[in-house]
């Protein structure tokens, strides 16, 4: 009886539980996915730029390597896209001062590498997110 009263109270508050196997049903939350993005940062002439910080609201920032390559991993909530910001953090040391650039990456089914379960949509991977930066004037 006590369990039924608790179930009724939880239902009124907007929570639900599954009676079978006494497991909780996820009714509230937000879809999310895990992602990995790889690319290269170059200047207008195609030369690699090292020391560029690549950041996203969903991931810890990384810095481009000496060959301009980078790899960023994160978790994105609610939408199948993330916004990357490319920032020159070392000034003229990397061959000049470069202007900041913002790039939006949208994930499609072709990018899915692993299926998820429930709110987790799975794992997505995108290669070739190459970016050309302009020098600051």
pLDDT mean over 62-68: 97
pLDDT digits (tens, 9 = 90+) for 2-17: 666 666 666 666 544 4
Task: Give me the domains of the chain, ranges plus CATH numbers.
Answer: 1-28 (no CATH), 31-132 (2.60.40.1120)
Q: What pLDDT sits at residue 12?
A: 61
Q: Residue 115 — left, alpha, or beta (φ > 0 → left; ψ -120 to 50 → alpha)?
A: beta
For the chain, list the strands marked E by DSSP: 32-42, 52-56, 59-63, 69-77, 81-88, 101-106, 112-115, 120-126, 131-132
Q: What pLDDT sits at residue 39?
A: 98
pLDDT band at 21 (very low <50, low <70, confident <90, very high): very low
Q: What pLDDT sits at residue 95?
A: 77
pTM more than 0.85: no
Whether residue 101 is predicted with pLDDT greater than 50 in this model: the reply is yes
């Amino acid at each position: 009886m006590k369990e039924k009263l608790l179930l009724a109270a939880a239902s009124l508050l907007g929570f639900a539980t599954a009676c079978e196997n006494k497991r909780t049903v996820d009714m509230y939350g937000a879809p999310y996915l895990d992602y990995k993005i790889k690319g290269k940062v170059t200047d207008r002439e195609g030369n690699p730029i090292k020391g560029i910080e690549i950041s996203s609201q969903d991931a810890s920032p990384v810095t481009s390597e000496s060959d301009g390559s980078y790899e960023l991993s994160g978790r994105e909530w609610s939408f199948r896209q993330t916004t990357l910001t490319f920032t020159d953090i070392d000034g003229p040391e990397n061959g000049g001062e470069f202007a900041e650039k913002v790039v939006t990456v949208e994930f499609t089914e072709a990018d899915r590498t692993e299926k998820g379960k429930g709110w987790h949509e799975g794992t997505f991977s995108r290669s070739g997110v190459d970016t050309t930066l302009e020098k600051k004037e």
